[in-house]
Amino acid sequence: MKQREHFGSRFAVIAAMAGSAVGLGNIWRFPYILGEYGGAAFILLYVAACLLLALPIFYAESLIGRASRSDTFGAMKKLAPGTAWRWAGLLTVVSPLLLLSYYSVVGGWSVEYLFKSLSFSFTDVPADDIPHLFGRFISSPWQPLFAHTAFMGLVAGVVLGGVKGGIEKFSKVAMPALFLLILAILVYSLTLPGAGRGVEYLLKPDFSKVTADAGAAALGQAFFSLSLGVGTILTYASYIKKDENLMVSGLGTAVSDLLFALIAAFAVIPAVFAAGLQPGSGPGLVFETLPYIFHKMGQGVPLVSTLVSSVFFVAILAAALTSAISMLEVGVAFLTDERGMKRRTATWILAFGCWAVGILCSLSFGPLSHVKVLGYTFFDFLDHLCSDWLLPLGGLIFTLFVGWKMSKKEVRNEFTNGETVNTRIFGVIYFLMRFVTPVGIVIVFLTNLLM
């Protein structure tokens, strides 16, 4: 039998998982969702959602992955042969593709902003005008479409050409660079006049903002950010060695992801206040704010601003690409492995489909902004459908599988590496996976439905 590949070290495991987890979700989505749901109170909800609901699912997914040593479909077939569980695998093919359709639109915004930085578009105008550039850009029909097409082309190119190794090597440099840059932005943004109100907004919870809606949004963000409920973590875990401590690698990934998001929030929100913008102004928040900070950082020297902002957008593009590739790869793997399709054909068909759906999302900020599905624009509808419903649903299935379908002995054996680690904490985690997490997700679903 073919020996399955392994990650070489604990660091490699955490780095790979964090590579999928850290992406636009941390830097683009977290600050604006937090701004829409009221700042500090949302952070508390988010941390609770991460620890009580998302982390146990992270463990459930990694447990299934390592126990079965296969992808989502194979895992269900192997661990529960002949049962309906394998249909859960289908959900995890559909959700990442829907996710990719609108993720690529935002990826496109990064491409466009990289070009804008390189062509000195942000230094040619007064700082206070920069936030308005975004509105003009996304409401125009063609520019965002070109950008979306370019991003999807990059994703398909990488999945096709197999230069995955190159991208991964590149992102090993880009990710730490991104982290350092965000830290630098944070320090700078705190010095801007008016930033104090932003810090207060992030630290002083207003408990009237703790609503069912905000709870659902926190859960959705936790799933989005940790790449849960779509089988990505499951697949990565299938490459983890048997003696690796699942609890430690899961915690390491979740903590790095959370740190990244919090640092991004503390870098962006104070600057939002300093620039006189509204934290609840929606998906454009980061694109309106960061170039403004870069402009100010340059202190009148265009080259400095251009350099900082170009490096930033290259890094964010790398982070977005590594995440997007993993979304397309799930569907491609399904069509090639289960349907016998050629890799090339599968990649083109799926990338084309996602691109076409993405067009509607892209236009929903401009010419199609009046077209609503259940009260949402196409973009917002897909985002809510994926984050608030499909990803948590996928997670629910995984945690039910581990808590109720697999035998306790099997789960215990996998989590404790045959009674060598985590023996004391196992009871707590198992309890969370069996009762707390599923009930929590169902409560969030129900309140979401009834409110």
Binding site for ligand PFF (CB under 6 A): 20-21, 23-26, 96, 99, 224-225, 227, 230, 232, 323, 326-327
Shortest Å, Cβ 200 to ligand PFF: 27
Shortest Å, Cβ 355 to ligand PFF: 18
Shortest Å, Cβ 231 to ligand PFF: 7
DSSP 128: G
Token pair of 307 as six digits: 């350099």
Give the residue with the Cβ less far from ligand PFF, 23 or 35: 23
Give the residue with the Cβ less far from ligand PFF, 274 or 346: 346
Calculate helix-pair angle for 72-79, 86-118, nearest 10 degrees.
Answer: 160
Give the residue with the Cβ less far from ligand PFF, 233 or 402: 233
Token pair of 16 as six digits: 């790979």
Residue 313: count of CB within 10 angstroms of its CB: 24
Closest CA to 19 of 240, 231, 169, 218: 169
Place of tokens 């991460």: 50
- The sign of the CA dihedral 151, 156, 159, 163 is negative
Helix (H) or strand (E) holding 71: none
Give the residue with the Cβ less far from ligand PFF, 50 or 99: 99
Shortest Å, Cβ 313 to ligand PFF: 15
DSSP codes of every residue in 135-191: HHHHHSSHHHHHHHHHHHHHHHHHHHHTTHHHHHHHHHHHHHHHHHHHHHHHHHHHH
Shortest Å, Cβ 268 to ligand PFF: 15
Token pair of 305 as six digits: 């601003």
Give the residue with the Cβ less far from ligand PFF, 101 or 121: 101
Give the residue with the Cβ less far from ligand PFF, 268 or 411: 268
Give the residue with the Cβ less far from ligand PFF, 99 or 152: 99
Token pair of 161 as six digits: 């050409």
Shortest Å, Cβ 64 to ligand PFF: 15
Residue 359: count of CB within 10 angstroms of its CB: 17
Amino acid at 143: Q
Give the residue with the Cβ less far from ligand PFF, 50 or 327: 327
Residue 100 CA to residue 272 CA, distance in Å, equals 28
DSSP codes of every residue in 234-280: HHHHTTS-TTS-HHHHHHHHHHHHHHHHHHHHHHHHHHHHHTT--TT
Give the residue with the Cβ less far from ligand PFF, 37 or 224: 224
Shortest Å, Cβ 25 to ligand PFF: 2
Give the residue with the Cβ less far from ligand PFF, 121 or 227: 227
Shortest Å, Cβ 26 to ligand PFF: 5
Residue nearest to ligand PFF (CB): 25
Surface-to-core class of residue 321, CB atoms within 10 Å of its CB (0-12 exposed, 13-18 middle, 19+ buried): buried
Shortest Å, Cβ 324 to ligand PFF: 7
Give the residue with the Cβ less far from ligand PFF, 130 or 265: 265
Residue 73 CA to residue 330 CA, distance in Å, equals 10
Shortest Å, Cβ 261 to ligand PFF: 8
Dihedral, CA of residue 235, residue 53, residue 318 and residue 175, to nearest 10 = -100
Residue 85 CA to residue 396 CA, distance in Å, equals 12
Residues 6+ apart with CB under 8 A from 432: 52, 56
Shortest Å, Cβ 227 to ligand PFF: 4
Surface-to-core class of residue 190, CB atoms within 10 Å of its CB (0-12 exposed, 13-18 middle, 19+ buried): middle
